[in-house]
Amino acid sequence: MKFRKKPVLVDAVQYTLGLEDGYACYEIGGRFVGYHDKSTHIPLPFRKVPAIKTLEGFHEISADDWIITGVAGERCPCKAEIFAQTYEAATRGTDGPPHEEEAHEKIREAYESNVDLAADPFDTYGGFVRGVHHVLEALGIKIEGVNA
């Protein structure tokens, strides 16, 4: 069985110096152990690899990693090539309309199914309002609290 991830907007920023929460400090057998929060004093010789706090604890990050902040404020690193394949820039607010292709298709369907809304040539305003309402409804956009 296959599943598609629900579209969720997240904040993301590519790592720059200062975004780390601490450092991986001690190398034992090729692996870093011992993470130190950057709010504590760490002698420079022990600062090795920048790291961020995740739900699973500290996670090492590199220069071109993206730091993603999820819907509950959790942070996780993502390699640049994975980020590029998984995410795209959002151009709207957190609950914006669907992707452009989907939006165009929904507008076309709403238009075709509601062509007769303005059947009365003398009631153009009423037909326009109903047409706009149906297009917004087809896109899943709700406008509330607007006085006519």
Per-residue confidence (pLDDT) for residue 38, from 0 to 100 = 80
pLDDT digits (tens, 9 = 90+) for 106-126: 766 766 666 555 555 555 656
List the domain boundaries for the chain.
11-86, 100-139
Closest by CA position to 14, among listed 47, 60, 61: 61
Position 65 pLDDT exceeds 90 = yes
Q: Which pTM was predicted?
A: 0.53
